[in-house]
Amino acid sequence: MKFIFVTGGVLSGLGKGITASSIGKLLQCRGLKVSAIKIDPYLNIDAGTMNPFEHGEVYVLDDGGEVDLDLGNYERFLDISMSRGHNITTGKVYQEVIDKERRGDYLGKTVQIIPHVTNEIKERITRLARESNSDVTIVELGGTVGDIESMPFLEAVRQLSVEVGREENCTFVHTTLVPILGSVGEQKTKPTQHSVKELMALGIKPDVIVGRSSDFLDDGIKTKISLFCDVSKEAVVSAPDARSIYEVPMILEKQGVADLVVRKMRLSPLSSNVDLSRWQDFLKRVIEPSREVTIALVGKYTELTDAYLSHMESLTHAGALEDCGVHIHFVDSDRLITEEPSKVLRNTHGILVPGGFGNRGVEGKIAAARYARENGIPFAGVCLGFQVATIEIARNVLGLEGANSTEFDPNAPHPIIDLMPEQKELESMGATMRLGSERVWVQEGSKAHSLYGSSEVWERHRHRFEVNPLYIDQLERGGWKFSGRCEEGRRMEIGELQNHPFFMATQFHPEFKSRPERPSPMHLGLVRASLERKESM
C-alpha cells in the first residue's frame, strides 16, 4: 500500500482538499488508480447534524453517508464514487473503541490513546486502501498541526508510515501559509518554519511543502524554506491564488509535483505522456467564457457560500458546457418576505432554490417560486425547493388556502407535503430520513427525459417529507406534472410546470453527482434556459 498524507499548518482553509484532489488528478492522468480519505478530528460521528453555517454543506454519498464537503471535491476531481468509510472522524473512532471495550475485545487491558485509538485509525485507513485496490491512497488530515484533537491522527499516520515503509510507500505533503506583509510586499517564511518545526517534533518530516500565497513564491523564498525546513528546493511548491479551483492541477503540474511523487514512491505510471488537454479545454471555458448569465440562489445560509458549494460547482460545470460564465447572486430568502421580489430579483436570468431544513425563510422561497412562475423566469428547485414550488402552486394556482408542509405547520388545512407512512415506519426503527442513491423513473417525452436522456436514473436523496399522494391528481390537473417518480410510483421525484420556459424541481439532490465534464442535467437545463431568457430580453 502506498499513501500520500496531506497535512496543514498555520491556519485552516488553505486548500488542503483542493491540493489533495489536484495531486490525485495528476496521478490519474498518468494511468494510476487513486482513492482518497478525509480525516476530520471533530467528535461528531459524521457531518449530518452540523449546521451549514458551522461547517459548510453536508455532502451525501451513494451509500447515504453524510460527510465533509471535501469528499465532494474528491468525487468531482477524480470522478469516482466514495463511501461513508472514506470519511474518518474522531467520533467514529472513539465510538468503535468504546464498543470494543464494552464487548471485552481488549481482554481487560487499560484502553489508551496509544495503542488502541491509533490502532483503530490505522486499521480504518489500511482497510479502505485495500478495498479500493488503488495504486495510491491520498489521506487528508483535517485541521492544523498543533491542534489537540488532531494529535492521535498524526501519531497514527506516523506509525503507519513506519509500518508500510517510509521511503517508498509514503509521501507527506504539508500545506502552509506564506503571507505577504507590509507595503514592500515581502513574502514571509516564518509561519512555515514554525509549522514544519511543530510537525517534525511529532516525528513527521514533510517531503513536499505547498506554500499558499497570493502569488508564486520567489526563488529566494523557496531556497530559504528548503534550507530551514530540510526539503529539496524542487519540493517547495507554489500554490498562488487561482482563477478557479480547477486551475490548481495545472499549476502543480507545471512545477513537477506529480513527477516528484512518482519518483519518490517508485510508482509505475501506465503512461509517460500526460494528457491534460480535456481538462485544459474545460478550464478555458470556465475562466474565459464567451457568454455570461446571472442566476439567483435563494437560500437561508447565504452568509456562508460553502453551504451551497455543490450547487456552485454544478452551475460552473453546466456553464462550461455552454461556454457560459455563471454569476451567482446569493439572496437571503428572508429578504423576499419584507421586500418586493421584483426589486430583489430583477437583474437575474434564472432562479435556483436549494434544500434546507426548518421553517425560517420558507415563505421567502415560496415568494421566489411564485415570482419565477408568474414572470416566466427559469426556475430550478432542489429538495425543499421542490416542496416550496409544490406548495406555491397549490396555494396560488389551485386556490388551496393554507396549503403547507406538516414540517412547518402540523395542522395545515391542506398538508401538500407530509410524512409518508413508510417514512414514519422507518423513523420508528431509528432511521431519520431517506439518504443515498435511489432509482428514479423518468417519463418519456418530458423535459426531464430530454435532459437526462434516459428513463431510469440514479440520484442521491436527503429528506424526510414527501408530496402527499392525496393531492397528486389535483396538482397535475393544475399543470404541475410529476415526470419523475420512485420505483413504486408513490413518491414524486421530479416536477415540471407546463406552459413555462423552464420551471422544474427535484426531490433528490442532483448537485451531488455533477462532474466537470458531466454536469447535473437539472443545472444544465437551468443555465440553458437562463441563456435563452437573457438573449430574448
Q: Output Rg (C-alpha) for the chain, integer angstroms.
A: 25
Whether 116 is catalytic is no
- Calculate the alpha carbon distances from 334 to 296, 337, 354 in Å: 14, 5, 14
Query: Out of 86, 349, 449, 509, which one is annotated catalytic?
Result: 509
Question: What is the biggest distance separating any 2 CA atoms in the chain, rounded to whole angstroms?
Answer: 75
The number of helix segments (H) and strand segments (E) in the chain equals: 21, 23
What gap in Å lies between CA 95 and CA 411, rounded to an integer? 39
- Find the length of the chain: 537
Q: Are 248 and 18 in contact (CB under 8 A)?
A: yes
Whether 229 is catalytic is no
What gap in Å lies between CA 438 and CA 256, rounded to an integer? 41
Task: Output the nine-digit C-alpha cell for 256.
Answer: 513537477
Task: Output the nine-digit C-alpha cell for 118.
Answer: 491509533
What gap in Å lies between CA 451 and CA 33, rounded to an integer? 31
User: Which H or E run contains 294?
Assistant: strand 291-299
Q: Distance between alpha carbon 328 and the CA centroid of its chain, in Å?
A: 17
Query: Out of 247, 414, 511, 523, which one is annotated catalytic?
Result: 511
Beta bridge pairs of residue 414: 403
- Calculate the alpha carbon distances from 110 to 91, 115, 342, 529 in Å: 20, 10, 66, 64
Query: Out of 383, 414, 466, 486, which one is annotated catalytic?
Result: 383
Torsional sign, CA 145, 304, 307, 180: negative
DSSP result, 348-368: -SEEEE----SSTTHHHHHHH
Contacts of 325 (CB under 8 A, 6+ apart): 286, 289, 291, 292, 293, 319
Residue holding cell 424541481? 505
What gap in Å lies between CA 206 and CA 346, rounded to an integer? 52
What gap in Å lies between CA 361 and CA 303, rounded to an integer? 14
Whether 509 is catalytic is yes
What gap in Å lies between CA 85 and CA 65, rounded to an integer? 8
Query: 306 exposed, middle or buried (CB, 10 Å; 0-12, 13-18, 19+)?
Result: middle
What gap in Å lies between CA 151 and CA 281, rounded to an integer? 42
Task: Output the nine-digit C-alpha cell for 44.
Answer: 461528531
User: Which H or E run contains 419?
Assistant: none
Query: 378 exposed, middle or buried (CB, 10 Å; 0-12, 13-18, 19+)?
Result: buried
Report the DSSP pairing between strands 414-418 and 466-467: antiparallel
Q: Are 505 and 391 in contact (CB under 8 A)?
A: no
Q: Which residues are catalytic?
A: 383, 509, 511
